[in-house]
Structure 1
Amino acid sequence: MEIVFIRHGQTDVNKDNRIQGAQVDAELNDYGREYAQKAAKNFDESQFDVVYSSPMKRAVETAEIFTKGQKQIKLDDRLLEFDFDDWDGKKMADLAKKYPDVMDPWGKVNRNYVKYAPNGETYEEFDQRCGEFLDEMYHKYSDKKVLVVAHGRLIRMMTAHYLTNGDMDKIDTMNNSALTKFSVRAGIPRLIYYNRLLA
């Protein structure tokens, strides 16, 4: 199986450096839309046998841009972004000031954030749903090419599931509209590229 992930285009929530998890269903902003369209010109959607997307607006629109109306897009709730619950929509700078112990050296929220947002998703829960999705893809499409359009943190965890036993803190966040590709043979995943920009 070959599986390619695309992170959705930029939203105003991204631009404002706010937490954008499963509770925030933002649309692409003008820049995000234009950049995704520019990148999609260098992307060949015809090579994929199946296309999956998060059901969130920013992912669906990005999937539509990259597939150019040529592919059916299957929506899957397991591709929803990480659920920060009460923290969704909050400014990263405010959280960093108030809870410095849950910010990593790259300015991202780490796994300990649930001390202050107890209803949020844990890394373990997140890894489990990502792993279930990946296992199903391999079971169904072991000799196919799969395209998945989703979210920055989710793609980090998909990558971490394959490479670091679910330790997402070892994986950087992809840029908006960037691509990551894995080749999986005999159940063994190999990273081909990560955070590739097409424009």
Structure 2
Amino acid sequence: MTATQLLLVRHGTTDANVQVPYILQGSSIDLPLNENGRRQAQQVARFLADHPIKHVYSSPLQRAAETAGAIAERHALSVNQIPEITECHVGVWEGKDWDTIAREAPEACRLFHEDPATHPYLGGESYSDVLHRVWPAFERLLHQHVGETVVVVAHNIVNRALCAHLMGLELRKAKGLAQDNCCVNIIQHVEGKSTLVTMNSVFHLRG
């Protein structure tokens, strides 16, 4: 019985993640990590230093690539970028806060919050759209790296959609899943079955 382990990480914080009011940071805003985000990247890199990691993948966006780079450096690996796992395209809501969105597009905002699997970010993707482009890339990695431990650094909505699917949770409920910056989700693949073993682990960020 050969087990493949995929460590799914969310990137560290950027200035957009901590802005008040919170603004949507999709695939069009490509910010680097801020000081705290760089510290988080080092913390998760230390946490994963003893894992037998053979490959590191990331989204092409700076915040994911920088986080992946910190992890890869500990293992003398390079980072391979996967365009399919970039963050959700949030359309015309990119860079806006929810109060502004609710005021400018109340019906689209209401529908999205009721069922983000069916109703997309206005002019962008729904959670279903995200899962449909991410899942084939996820399966490809599992088939390419049988019996190995692989790190994938992605994004909030990408991770939520994957975790919900692995849990058998209705995708419309994925918006309620926590994915803190630099959290780790552990996925094990054995005999054709993928299992989410750990979700949103952040113990390594404490202290």
Confirm or deny a common fold (TM above 0.5). yes
AA of the residue aligned to 1:130: V
Paired position in structure 2 for 1:150: 154
Paired position in structure 2 for 1:135: 139
The yes-or-no answer on 1:44 pairing with 2:49 is yes
Name which of 106, 110, 116 aligns with 1:101: 110
Note the C-alpha offset of 1:124.
2.5
Query: Residue 153 of structure 1 contacts residue 173 of structure 1 at CA under 8 Å; is this kept in 2?
Result: no
AA of the residue aligned to 2:84: R
Structure 1 range deviating more: 50-59 or 128-137: 128-137
The yes-or-no answer on 1:191 pairing with 2:200 is no
CA RMSD of superposed structures (Å): 2.3
> How many pairs align?
194
Q: Measured at CA, do residues 75 and 158 of structure 1 come closer, stay the same or move farther in structure 2, by a change above 3 Å? A: same
AA of the residue aligned to 1:101: R
Note the C-alpha offset of 1:20.
0.9
AA of the residue aligned to 1:156: R
Paired position in structure 2 for 1:30: 35
Paired position in structure 1 for 2:163: 159
Note the C-alpha offset of 1:45.
6.2
Note the C-alpha offset of 1:143.
1.6
The yes-or-no answer on 1:77 pairing with 2:83 is yes
AA of the residue aligned to 2:17: N
State TM-score, norm by structure 1: 0.87
Query: Residue 14 of structure 2 contacts residue 37 of structure 2 at CA under 8 Å; is this kept in 1?
Result: yes
AA of the residue aligned to 2:87: E
**Structure 1 vs Structure 2: percent identity of aligned residues?**
25
Q: What are structure 2's unaligned runs of at least 5 residues?
A: none
Q: What are structure 1's unaligned runs of at least 5 residues?
A: none
Paired position in structure 1 for 2:11: 8
Note the C-alpha offset of 1:157.
1.1
The yes-or-no answer on 1:92 pairing with 2:95 is no
Note the C-alpha offset of 1:191.
1.4
Structure 1 range deviating more: 5-14 or 152-161: 152-161
| Partner-residue secondary structure (3-state), 2:47 | coil
1:128, 1:149 → 2: CA distance?
Answer: 18
The yes-or-no answer on 1:124 pairing with 2:128 is yes
Structure 1 range deviating more: 43-52 or 77-86: 43-52
2:190, 2:180 → 1: CA distance?
Answer: 27
